[in-house]
Amino acid sequence: MFYRFSAFWLRSSTEMFCFLRPVRRLCLEKVSPRWFFCSRAFSGAEAVNALRPFYFAVHPDFFGQHPKEREVNENSLQKLSVYLENLQKPGSKSLKPTQLTFYVRETDQNSSEGQEPFSTLGFRAVKFTLHTRDLLSTVLYILNSCSLSVEHVQSLNSNVRPQPPKEAKRMSDRPIKWDKSYYSFTGFRDPDEDLEHVSKMETTLTSWLGSNGKRAIKKLENSLPLRKELDRLKDELSHQLQLSDIRWQRSWGLAHRCSQLHSLGRLAQQNLETLKNAKGCTVIFTDRSGISAVGHVMLGTMDVHHHWTKLFERLPSYFDLQRRLLLLENQISRLLGDIQVVYIEELQPVLTLDEYYSLLDVFYKRLLKNRVPFHPQSLRGLQMILNSDRYAPSLHELGHFNIPTLCDLANLKWFILTRAQQARENMKRKDELKVIEDELIQASTKKFSLEKFYKEPSVSSKQMVDCCKRLLGQSLPYLQGMHLCVSHFYSVMQDGDLCIPWNWKNGEAIK
């Protein structure tokens, strides 16, 4: 147990270092007395330690069952990483404000007192804008914005004065509103003007593309050799190992992906016959090694070759477990009126085959013990997914039922039967929307001569359709030959892909 916890914390800490890139030495400027008085610089190592409670509260791995919130946190952590890196560069006084949104888990350190309460799912949305000028004030601002303690920061920098308790800060918690002459005299930037400028510039599609198009083109051109190398490596390994596909769970850069394929290629040279056990499988580079719930071979990017080799050696036994899992799904289906038991990767937490089998087994044994009579084939054509939450069953907008393994079985039949027709209508609407979405993606790709047009998993078909319809009514010459991703934010990715929010507008974004 200790080893598993240590391994988990090591991996999480490593990811924290990926989000919070190495920070160079910093000479602190004069800072606002609203925060603190300090006499020495705050080092990068101290910043990492100080932000540990924050990362523990927002780390994407803890949002496996909530893919939308997970992706929002991943995107915000990437933007935060860029902000902190730019903060260390010369001319950081002119750094523009960065608006961030995080879903913060309830932990021992934070409290909902005086804040938006935590949802029944155990987290809440926190939005704030960074317009700080040094590392220490940034760390404190983040912690306070998320209602996390700053007491440990004082131990890292003995001259840091934490904010007083909530009961004693009614007046002191108000931001100081300086006169315009203060900013003219000191040379500091007026945060109100910065925020107004950002609001005007960052939320306008055409102006944002105009400002970032050339930078994206340059990055895209620089990435072309790596893109060719990635395609070559992927094709060679897929052919050599007779794989169905090679994928990545996260939006790693091209250099990172090529490095992972090189590692797999070296392992294939050493243990080709063992790796051929994966014939016909899909290999996914992800956070941990194992076999996924749908039978994909997951290669943990933090694991050494020895772990990968052991996994490939055990594949035959996993295939046997997969056959037993399919049988178990069919048995559950027959007990519940032939409803189809499915696992939806985009909507469910990443589970190994063993974990998913245990989940199904618990539910199946409960069904056998508490038989719920369903008319045979009465639910044929409908779908359900299982999860380990202790909440009541629900009907998803995409048409499938979300059934907790420990739900009240006595009420389960009534719930499913009274919503069966609505489920069929939702599924029909989903299929129709998917057809429209595919047509609009093709039309947009053709009109703007895009090299690639895709969306992030958290963007629904309905959102994508709305985005494409409005795009087709625009003239956007900047997009020719580009890789365009529909997301929830504006960004130029490190390899030149352009990200735009699905709800873009030539003005303020749609709420």
Please tell me whether residue 278 adopts helix, strand or coil conformation. Answer: helix
Same domain, 141 and 256: no
Do 500 and 486 meet the contact criterion of CB atoms below 8 Å apart?
yes
Residues 164-179 as b or e (16 or more Cβ within 10 Å = b) = eeeeeeeeeeeeeeee
Q: What is the reported pLDDT for 35? A: 37
Same domain, 238 and 320: yes
Q: Among the residues of 157-270, which ranges form H helices?
A: 180-186, 191-202, 205-241, 254-270
CB 290 within 8 A of CB 353: yes
In a domain, 388, yes or no: no
Locate all alpha helices (DSSP H) within 242-289, ordered by sequence: 254-270, 272-275
Residue 54 maps to a domain: yes
Nearest Cα to Cα of residue 505 among 202, 136, 229, 236: 202
The last residue of a domain, from among 152, 180, 205: 152
Q: Is residue 177 part of a domain?
A: no
**Going by C-beta distance under 8 Å and a sequence separation of 6 or more, which residues neighbour residue 488?**
71, 72, 75, 456, 458, 459, 501, 502
- The answer as to whether 201 is a domain residue is no
Over residues 50-71, mean pLDDT: 79
20: confidence class by pLDDT, cuts 50, 70, 90: very low
pLDDT of residue 72 exceeding 50, the answer is yes
Structural domain harbouring 91? 42-109+116-152
pLDDT score at 408: 87
In Å, how far are 135, 302, 318 from 286, measured between CA atoms? 31, 9, 18
* 132 and 246 assigned to the same domain: no
Is residue 353 within 8 Å of 291, Cβ to Cβ?
yes
Residue 494 falls within a domain, yes or no?
no
* pLDDT range class, residue 42, cuts 50, 70, 90: low
Q: Are 365 and 242 in a shared domain?
A: yes
pLDDT greater than 70 at residue 7: no
Cβ within 8 Å of residue 320, ≥6 positions away: none
For residue 458, the model assigns a pLDDT of: 79
Instruction: Point out the least confidently predicted range of 137-141, 229-233, 363-367.
Output: 137-141
pLDDT digits (tens, 9 = 90+) for 243-293: 999 999 877 789 889 999 999 999 999 999 999 999 999 999 988 899 999
Q: Are residues 375 and 255 in the same domain?
A: yes
pTM: 0.63
Structural contact between residues 246 and 299, judged by C-beta atoms closer than 8 angstroms: no
Half-sphere exposure of 59 (CA within 13 A, CB side): 20
More confident position, 69 or 471: 471
* 231 in the same domain as 145: no
Statement to judge: residues 379 and 243 lie in one domain: yes
Taking alpha carbons only, the member of 186, 263, 261 closest to residue 229 is: 261
Residues 236 and 123 in one domain: no
In the predicted model, what is the mean pLDDT of residues 46-58?
79
* 251 and 364, same domain (yes or no): yes
Q: What value does the mean pLDDT take over residues 102-119?
A: 58
What value does the mean pLDDT take over residues 442-457? 95
> Residue 223 pLDDT > 90, yes or no?
yes
Q: Is residue 348 part of a domain?
A: yes
User: Is 1 a member of any domain?
Assistant: no
pLDDT at residue 350, as a whole number: 80
All residues at 6 or more sequence positions from 173 whose CB lies less than 8 Å from its CB, including other chains: 163
> What pLDDT band is residue 127 in, cutting at 50, 70 and 90?
confident
Residue 92 has pLDDT above 60, yes or no: no
Q: Do 133 and 238 lie in a common domain?
A: no
Structure tokens at 82: 């860029």
Residue showing tokens 């990437």: 78
Does 276 lie in the same domain as 142?
Answer: no
Q: Number of structural domains, the chain?
A: 2
